[in-house]
Structure 1
């Protein structure tokens, strides 16, 4: 067996353990719930655009609310209850990711989404991603926003509070933003507040359709989805839950939550 095969085998074992632990956490959450409410409670954060994370200079604010009759998409399990916690973490050194490529697996209640993370082009963002995954920051965190306009087709995730205003306790600036404002299908980028120097934290968005974000600063492109984008397509096909800021912008009608995130370095 080659070293690459050994690493792949070890990675599969690690991801299997992570999924098993996530399933156990999901079962515990189900038992603890007194009332089985499917969906995510989303609150409006006054004065913040895009639930605290802004897309484009002219972007509006989303005000999604929970759907009491939320229905999971095909192939999905009911999502776990949000842990509802933030964090006070230290920003990791960008050198931990510089010049390296990583494979990240988002285990969700709808299946696995795998993506590559480019530490050569976005070292600070990738270093932060690695640390948040190591700290289990995203455990049982809902993807709180879906957009479905002609110009913007993204699913935003990464806030364990489910409100869109949570952060890991640190922030950093924009890096590796496309100058043309184009974010092709499959792009993984970091969301941010209006603070372009320290407004990027733990929230990110998955682009399921070619999108345009005409912001002069832009958003850090951290990687690319390599498998599982069909899961996002199914969530998008279910549409926006009632109560969003518009028919094309709000909480996804079919809830999806991150259970765990596993990251391994990809060797040349």
Structure 2
């Protein structure tokens, strides 16, 4: 009588064969694990040998980094900070003279000269910018010096100092670029003026300086006969800065630009 295996039914293996296969699997696993650990040991030994051979170099690099870090901290503590304080103290009188000049109705030039050259035993903006370059006060002195020169009609000097000034302040940075535009405009270099008015308007969009320099850019473009450019600037004021003072008579300027 014939016998048939049911579907999926496996003939069981003798126990001795199973034991042999299991032992082979364990041996293979043990062998592989041993190889891995052996490789790790070899790599660790090589790393230790390399460190041992290069100890002087490693310690030298670490010491140099530590020395630079400490030096930087000490420089900031004993050089930079006192220099910043000294520069700020020197700035006080110069800023006072500058503000008095801006507010004055007469004698402005003499007050701006005092702000630039110094008074009452204190430095003016020119000396501060030179002696304290690299400090915040020295950088700000470049801005004030440039503006003082602009007010007194010395446009070449104004451009030179304003170009040295840099700031993350969105208003001051835009005012500096716009003032360079004013200096070029006073020199009748209108293309250069338009370039800087454009930079001033675009660099840090805000409700104070952006419409102001868009307006100046539009007027300058109109003077240059660039009506399409002027229309673009004036239209932007109308559409995006309708609350700004520059928007009050903007429709008339838009009409002139068409």
- When normalised by structure 2's length, the TM-score is 0.21
Higher relative contact order (CA 8 A, sep 6+): 1
Question: When you count helix as a share of all residues, which structure comes out higher?
Answer: 2
Question: When you count strand as a share of all residues, which structure comes out higher?
Answer: 1
- When normalised by structure 1's length, the TM-score is 0.21
Of structures 1 and 2, the larger Rg is shown by: 2
